[in-house]
Structure 1
Amino acid sequence: MTTSTTTHTRSTDRIAQAFAVAGALLVAAGIALSLGHLLAAGETLRWIGIACLLIFSIRKPSLMTWTFFAMVAGVELGIDAPHIAAQARLPGDLFLRLVRMIVAPLLFATITTGIAGHNELRSVGRVAIKALILFEVVTTLGLMIGVVAMNLSGAGWGISIPEALGGTAPAAQAPQTWQQIVLNLFPDNIAQAVAQNQILQVAIFSILFGAALAMLPDEKRAPLVRVLQSLADVMFQLTRFIMYLAPLAAGAAIAYTVGNTGLATLLPLAKLVGTYYIALAAFVLLVMVPVLALFRVPLRGFLSAVGEPAAIGFATTTSEAALPLAMERMEEFGVPRWIVSFVIPTGYSFNMTGGSVYLSMAAVFVAQAAGIHLTFGRELAVVLVLMAASKGIAGVPRASLVVLLATASAVHLPTAPILLILGVDTLMDMGRTMMNVVGNCMAAAVIGRTEGAIPVS
């Protein structure tokens, strides 16, 4: 009976996977035909593909499969009914607001109970040093891969810059000094940090609060630790409720993007977008997989744990939207809660893996579009500036744009070509956000492994 059931399950899985592959291929073919002005044939193929993906989602229901289906359906809505899709912001905005609502109490409760409730005060400094070293190494490798990818692609050469863009770039902001970066880690008002959703400042306050609580006698510490532990459990339960909205929010976000920009906007800069996603794939294969293998993190289990948060980050283009689910999944993976609660929020400012690839690529693209041949020395200067300028800016709106403008100013590049990138920035922001989420989860898994928390695969 067991053998028969197992065989039937495998057969069902293969059928479901066949529907998924067929659906994805048909949707891609339909989009290609539509871009080639074969509208009727393209629409037919897309709807058949969506039907196949719906069957797959029903046969293999999960948050990730339904999120993926909703994203594809959102693309179709954006293509077929752009006027409706352009008004579809409410589900995504509501989802993000609900997530922001729980982030601060979730971080406060998990970090504090991790330090004070499990006597991990002595381990915080060690984990912080490991995290910062890992962040710097990984993001520097990402910067290098971005430079190499753009040099090989040459996507910026031959791009014409409209005269209307000349002189219209926003003013560049000076990179933060290291003193400013350190100072901005600490809130001067915790209520203001919560209100402004300064994740890292909330995390720093929670670490200090947890350290102070850990130093109290047990009879004074225990009652508050129990309350905070209950608060953490409630926040994780609330996260599960909110995540039911994730597929709808993802579909609405994709529909809004396609409805407002249209797929045709991708064509003039398709080589840039394609280069970026190829560079991300190279980053995964050349950096992430070797790092996971070096620290003997179970690869299959990690991919399973990170899939859903990555999908939410990709669809919403907001790392913050994936934060609570990423923390929950990595804790289920085996990383202690106090490590997860410290490493992932810290990574939001210091471990922008997807952003590092993007920034170095974009800087070289700007030079190429302006007809400037960068020497090795100037490319090295770009990397060095980005290593410093990209830290500690997660709370700034359009943070990547701020860093890119500052870098262009520092290495004497024109700013007008940056406006060309903004035309397809949302399309690249999907991959950028997804990679940031995966990179922070990888950091938590690696550091958890070095602390002996995750069994060897």
Structure 2
Amino acid sequence: MDRRLTLYILIGMVLGVIVGQVLYTQVDGAVVKDQVVPWLKLLSDIFLNLIKMLVAPLVLSTIVVGIAHMGDSSALGRIGFRAITWFILASLISIGLGLVMVNLFQPGVGAPIPDAAAATAAVGEIKELKATEFILSIFPKNAIEALATNNILQILVFSLFAGVALSAIGEKGAALVRGADALAEMMLQVTGYVMRYAPIAVFAAIAKVVAVSGLAILETYLELLFEFYLSLILLWVILLTVGAIFLRERIWTLIKYIRQPLMIAFSTASSEAALPKMFEQLDRFGVPRRISGFILPLGYSFNLDGSMMYMSFATIFIAQAYGIDLSISTQVMILLTLMISSKGIAAVPRASLVVITGTLAMFGLPVEGVAIILAIDQFLDMGRTATNVVGNAVATSVITKWEGMLEVEEPEFVEHPHARAHTAADGRAGLDLDPSNFEDKR
């Protein structure tokens, strides 16, 4: 279904360009504006409303379930602490680099986005929050109000308290945990239904943009793609250089071993598809399964370096495209919000769009920009998914070396028959290491 959806989105994009260009060149401008464009806008706005509908229950259910399922805190221990520390630093590097690069390149400035003036007027001047005001705004005074207004940071705080409390009360809270788990599964299913509407939304969004602005918007897309991938390459260099400090010459061996899961992730834009091969290759590289079985799934929820950079680019790009001037302090607050809120719903396909939508709404920015980004999201997704794989491979290997547990690598062509034995042995330690249980991590 995912590959067909990608094909349908591409078809919708092409048809949108064709229909939009026909309207732009052959139909009177007033007619386009007054009769055709509003209907195209309606089709894309329906998708935006559906995306916004997902935010609150998705964040609440996935965070509560994730924390509650951690269970015994001793499963984290020293390795967990080091892993979380690495993940936080890597996320800060990724999102900080994204902020620098998007401000350096400014891909959205001058982009021919329709209704930019109207959006800017509607948004008005972005309020500058003091640090104390921003911190206070994180903590909800009413959990129901936070859910109703899609305030994702406040939902996150409430979900953290709820998840920790359910984990603490154990069996008494089992029914609520199962309910939250069922809600998370339901929202995953609903997300799949909503994404089936994406090709129509892409068609409408592209047709509307091209009908009003012409084919100039395609230059903006190409510029965004080029600058985003250039930034990802720079991030790869940083991650691998830091990895080389710990692994020394074995960093080259790691690169050789992960090339297969890397290509799987890039070609399918799916972390889930690459995960089984990643386990196998890290086994061969010398990472014990009891380490990779803990750090990899944790990293696939908390160490999404490519997704961090993508959300930096997409959010600031939308603000730039609509001519909204954001101070550096406001951008930092937005990106910290993205970094924190994205941790909860990493297992949801195309979760980045949901997080971006919620953050745009929280800061009063035009959520209509998500429809524009959606048109090339698949191409951006391929790069960010591959980057997530690189980041987690480096993190797992470095932490293993840090613990003094990195073993001698095996030849890549040798079959690895004891991988399942590792899984079974480590499973007795209380960790769920079955790769089939790990969802798509974007």
Q: Which of 302, 311, 322 lines up with 2:254 in the alignment? A: 302
Change (3 A) 1:336 1:198: farther
Give 1:177 shift.
1.7
Query: CA 1:449/1:420 → structure 2, altered by over 3 Å: closer, same or farther?
Result: same
CA displacement at 1:340 relative to structure 2: 0.4
Task: Give the equivalent residue in structure 2 for 1:209.
Answer: none
User: Relative to structure 2, which stretch is displaced further, 382-391 or 157-166?
Assistant: 157-166
How far 1:368 sits from its partner (Å)? 0.5
SS of the aligned residue for 2:347 comes to coil
Q: What do the CA deviations read for 1:308-344 (whole angstroms, capped 9, x no partner)?
A: 1111111111111111111111111111101101111
Deviation (angstroms), 1:163? 4.5
Per-residue CA shift, 1:341-399, capped at 9, x if unaligned? Answer: 11111112111110000111111101100112221111211222122111121133421
Partner of 1:118: none
**8 Å contact 2:262–2:386 — kept in the other structure?**
yes
How has the CA–CA distance of structure 1 residues 377 and 164 changed in structure 2, closer, same or farther, with 3 Å as cutoff?
Answer: closer
Of 388, 399, 420, the residue aligned with 2:372 is 420
Q: How far did 1:412 drift?
A: 2.5
Q: Which residue of 1 aligns with 2:151?
A: 174
Q: Paired residue for 2:306, among 350, 354, 358?
A: 354
Kindly report which structure 2 residues correspond to 1:243-262, keeping only aligned pairs within 5 A, or say none: none
Matching residue of 1:438: 390
- Indicate if the aligned counterparts of 1:378 and 1:411 stay in contact, CA closer than 8 A: no
Structure-2 separation of matches of 1:155 and 1:427: 16
Aligned to 1:133: 85
Tell me the CA shift for residue 438 of structure 1. 1.4
* Residues 385-400 of structure 1 mapped to structure 2, 5 A cutoff: 385-400=337-352
Compute the TM-score of the two structures, normalised by the length of structure 2: 0.56
Which of 238, 241, 244 lines up with 1:293 in the alignment?
Answer: 244
Q: Secondary structure, in 3 states, of the residue corresponding to 2:311? A: helix
Matched residue type, 2:241: P
Distance in 2 (alpha carbons) for counterparts of 1:165 and 1:396: 34
Alignment of 1:311-326 (within 5 A): 311-326=263-278
Contact 2:266/2:382, CA 8 A, preserved across alignment: yes
- 1:334 corresponds to which residue? 286
Cα distance per residue 1:91-137 (max 9 Å; x no partner): xxxxxxxxxxxxxxxxxxxxxxxxxxxxxx97741111111111110
1:296 CA drift (Å): 2.4
Q: 2:342, 2:404 → 1: CA distance?
A: 31
For residues 439 and 362 of structure 1, the distance between their equivalents in structure 2, rounded to whole angstroms, comes to: 20
- TM-score, with structure 1 as normaliser: 0.54
Aligned runs of 1:11-160 on 2, under 5 Å?
Answer: 124-160=76-112
CA distance in 1, matches of 2:310, 2:362: 18
What is aligned with 2:296?
344
> Quick one: which amino acid aligns to residue 112 of structure 2?
S
Report how far residue 282 of structure 1 moved.
1.1
Instruction: Indicate the structure whose relative CO is greater, using CA pairs within 8 Å and at least 6 residues apart.
Output: 2
**Cα distance change, pair 195–373 in 1 and its aligned pair in 2 (3 A):** closer
| Distance change (3 Å), C-alpha of 1:450 and 1:123 | farther
Please state how far the C-alpha of 1:266 moved relative to its aligned partner. 5.8
Q: Does the aligned pair in 2 maintain the 1:165–1:419 contact within 8 Å?
A: no
Segments of 5+ residues of structure 1 without an aligned counterpart are 1-70, 84-120, 200-255
- SS class of match (1:443): helix
8 Å CA contact retained: 2:108, 2:220: no
Give the count of matched residue pairs. 284
- AA at the equivalent of 1:384: L
Alpha-carbon contact 1:173-1:405 (below 8 Å) kept: no
- SS of 2:323's equivalent in the other structure is coil
What's the CA shift for 1:456? 9.4
CA distance 1:181–1:353, shift in 2 (3 Å): farther
* SS of equivalent residue, structure 2 residue 87: helix
Pair 1:190–1:435, CA change in 2 (3 A): farther
Residues 315, 356 of structure 2: 8 Å contact kept: yes
CA contact 2:303–2:392 (8 Å) conserved in 1: yes
What is the Cα-based RMSD across aligned positions, in Å? 4.0
Q: CA deviation at 1:178?
A: 3.3
The letter for the 2-side match of 1:269 is Y
Q: Deviation per CA, 1:408-433: give whole Å up to 9, x if none.
A: 12333221222111111100000011
* Pairwise CA distance, 1:165: 13
Q: Which amino acid is 1:147 matched to?
A: L
